[in-house]
Amino acid sequence: MSKKLIATSIVLFVILSITIWSITIIRINNYEKNLITLELAESDTKLSLASDQLLNLYETSKKKVLFFKDLAEANYRKNKTFNDIRDVLYLFLKNEDNYFQARIINTKGQEVLKIENMYNSISIYEHKYLEDKSNRYYFQESLKLKKGQLFISNLDLNIENNKVELPYRPTVRFFTKIYSPDQDLLGIVGLNLNAETWLNGIGTNDINILNNANEVFYKESGRQDLYTKSKKDLTLRDTNGKPIYNVKDVIIMGMSTWTLYTSIHSAAVEEKIKTNKKKSISFAVFLNLGLLFFIFTIHNLYYKNKHISSLNNAINQRLDERNTLLKEIHHRVKNNLQVITSLLNLQSRNIKDEEVKSILKYSQYRIKSIALLHENLYRSEDLSKINYADYLKQLVNGLIVSMKGSTNEIQLNLDVDTVHFNIDTSIPLGLIINELVTNSLKYAFTDGIGIICISLKRQASNSFLLRVSDNGKGFPKGIKFRDTDTLGLKLVHKLVLQLNGNIEKDNLQTGTAFIITFQEIQELS
């Protein structure tokens, strides 16, 4: 049984452990999937907002460039020059942080007007500082536009005097053609966007922006990789097949492509996943240890119960042996007492003296009362106590038959509560009743007809009331029952004291009546 229990416990532990860890892994994966899905939805919202801002910037810049085109054409129509527009462009750059340069370039690529906001210092360039831009791609592409169209350049760094301007100033250029009243092409007018100012105003710090050359122009952490080729593989996926980056391409008029992306697996997300994984594993370990402790406790209780059961079996076996031995003792005592009674009976047959024969006869009655008690103990399930009502019935009926014969006319009235007495109480009480009943049978009924009444009632405080009476001729008047010289009454008085009791004679009743109060003698363990 123990091997089977151990094997069953091991199998149960393995099955439950596999279940616990399977559920833990599923919970970890589901948490990560749900978190990534939530992050993906949030990043879609952020990218959409950034894309909308970019398109709004384009629309705003388009309107401003077309406004300056109309203003330049009107100025040229009036004065054949663009000098009057300089003040307007000057004030525009002074109050507009998103742009740092406004220019008019003629059809040959020569700047004719250039106003620039260089780190909050507005400058209107003199003619000698104006440059030739005929070799720039934005000039060449702008000349290809149809009337009213707008050119938007790539997002790149500003170049001055054929060199990349330092410190770096990322820009986007917006240009459109300007015409004379005769619809002759005069050149192009445009604005340079201060891209860094605009990018910093996107309103979020977790979006990365690449230009159409895959160069980094805005990133969520640090500046060390700015304006260099991006080394990120935006197609990477995690172990669950989910994309690591959320990417959105924004194409403006088919001319400029911007790539916006954000990391779904941000540091905050990774920390949440790591924390959840740690908590889930800790909880699973706790459950496993609890399961192990539970199985260990069950095993421990099983073996303890097995040991206790073994001890109980041994104790029960000892008790059975003890009860068997006690029954045997009571049986042997009863037999020995019967042998003594038989010996006294044989002895009395050879004795001529009636008084001696009477003494031996009443001694036999006393011995028989004790033998009957041992017989009841022998036959009782509880070897420590007997049912005293049954015992009294057997005892008194036996005395009546022994002394008056089986055809006697003595009536016995018993009124006994259901009580059980131990042997230390039963023997003296049985001898008392034996003596009193014997006296009634011997002296009370001259004509052999009469009634013997015995009552035994339980009183308060673990005390009892015994009443033995008859309707015979009564106790002799000249004899005091406490000072009698007869052996029987002397024995009664001694036995009453042994029971911590008291005996009184009821003088009001016809016949003889004795009232005895006593307590049960407690056995010493």
pLDDT digits 0-9 by tens, 107-128: 999 999 999 988 788 999 998 8
Q: Which residue has the higher pLDDT, 1 or 308?
A: 308
Is 278 domain-assigned? no
Pairing outcome for strands 185-194 and 170-179? antiparallel
Question: Would 202 be classed as within a structural domain?
Answer: yes
Asked whether residue 256 is domain-assigned, the answer is yes
Task: Please report which confidence band the pLDDT of residue 497 belongs to, taking 50, 70 and 90 as the band edges.
Answer: very high
- The verdict on residue 13 lying in a domain is yes
Average pLDDT value for the chain = 84
Amino acid at 203: G
Both tokens of 486, joined, read: 């007869």
DSSP classification of residue 441:
I
Q: Which residues, other chains included, contact 254 with Cβ-Cβ below 8 Å and sequence gap of 6+?
A: none
3-state secondary structure string, 403-436? Answer: HHCCCCEEEEEEEECCCEEEHHHHHHHHHHHHHH
Q: Which one is predicted more confidently, 163 or 106?
A: 106
**Cα separation, 212 vs 200, whole angstroms:** 19
**129 with 136: CB under 8 angstroms?**
no
Bridge partners of residue 110, in order along the sequence: 132
Give the β-pairing of 449-458 and 409-416. Answer: parallel
CA distance 352 to 172: 156
User: C-alpha angle with apex 127: 124 to 130, nearest 5 degrees?
Assistant: 80
Q: How confident is the model at residue 224 (pLDDT cuts 50, 70, 90)?
A: low
Higher pLDDT, 304 or 327: 304
**What's the pLDDT score for residue 174?**
92
User: d(Cα 370, Cα 9) in Å, to the nearest integer?
Assistant: 61
Instruction: Show the 3-state SS of 453-487.
Output: EEEEEECCCCEEEEEEEECCCCCCCCCCCCCCCCH
Give me the pLDDT at residue 267, please.
73
Report the alpha-carbon distance of residue 191 to residue 199 in Å, rounded.
Answer: 17
Alpha-carbon distance of 194 to 143, in angstroms, equals 23
Contacts of 359 (CB under 8 A, 6+ apart): 487
* For residues 33-54, average pLDDT: 84
How far, in Å, CA of 353 to CA of 359, rounded? 10
205 has a pLDDT exceeding 60: no
The verdict on residue 390 lying in a domain is: no
**Among 126, 250, 138, 128, CA closest to 193:** 138
Assess whether 408 and 259 both reside in one domain. no
Output the pLDDT for position 378: 72
- Does 53 score more than 60 pLDDT? yes
Least trusted range by pLDDT, from 115-129, 325-339, 456-470, 499-513: 325-339
Could you tell me which residues come within 8 angstroms of residue 466 by beta carbon, excluding any fewer than 6 positions away? 429, 432, 433, 454, 455, 456, 515, 516, 517, 518
pLDDT for the residue 50: 83
Q: Tell me the residue range of the domain where 459 lies.
A: 397-524
Map tokens 């917006």 to a residue: 174
Residue 154 CA to residue 176 CA, distance in Å, equals 15
**Looking at 232, 263, 294, which one is the last position of a domain?**
263
CATH number at residue 47: 3.30.450.20
Q: How many CA atoms lie within 13 A of 62 on its CB side?
A: 13
> Lowest-confidence range among 326-330, 434-438, 448-452?
326-330
d(CA 266, CA 242): 14
The helix or strand, by DSSP H or E, that contains position 17, with its residue range, turns out to be helix 2-79
Nearest alpha carbon to residue 121 among 93, 102, 157: 93
C-alpha–C-alpha distance, residues 210 and 478, integer Å: 141
Residue 428 resides in a domain: yes
Phi, psi of 415 (to 5 degrees): -130, 85
Residue 139 lies in a domain: yes
Q: Which of 242, 263, 284 is the last residue of a domain?
A: 263
pLDDT digits (tens, 9 = 90+) for 285-313: 998 898 888 888 887 888 888 888 888 88
Which range, of 73-77, 246-250, 258-262, 320-324, averages the lowest pLDDT? 320-324
317 inside domain: no
d(CA 443, CA 75): 165
Q: Give the pairing of strands 151-152 and 170-179.
A: antiparallel
222 pLDDT tier (thresholds 50, 70, 90): low
Q: Kindly give the interhelix angle for 487-498 and 423-439, rounded to the nearest 10 degrees.
A: 150
Kindly tell me if the per-residue pLDDT of 203 is higher than 70.
no
What residues contact 17, with CB distance under 8 A and at least 6 apart? 288, 291
Closest-CA residue to 72 (of 60, 59, 83, 58): 83
* Number of domains comprising the chain: 2
Q: Within a 10 A sphere around the Cβ of 162, how many other Cβ atoms?
A: 8
The enclosing H or E element of 159 equals strand 159-160
C-alpha torsion angle, residues 284, 285, 287, 288 (rounded to 10)? 120
pLDDT > 90 in the chain, percent: 25
pTM of the full predicted structure?
0.51
CATH code where residue 464 lies = 3.30.565.10
Which of 245, 263, 281 is the C-terminal boundary of a domain? 263
Determine contact, residues 248/261, Cβ cutoff 8 Å.
Answer: yes
* pLDDT of res. 465: 94
Pairwise CA distance, residues 437 & 452, whole Å: 8
Give start and end residues of each alpha helix (H) in 350-422: 354-379, 388-404
Which residues have a Cβ under 8 Å from the Cβ of 352 and sit 6 or more positions away? Answer: none
Q: Which residues contact 368 (CB under 8 A, 6 or more apart)?
A: 337, 341, 398, 402
Pairwise CA distance, residues 360 & 338, whole Å: 14
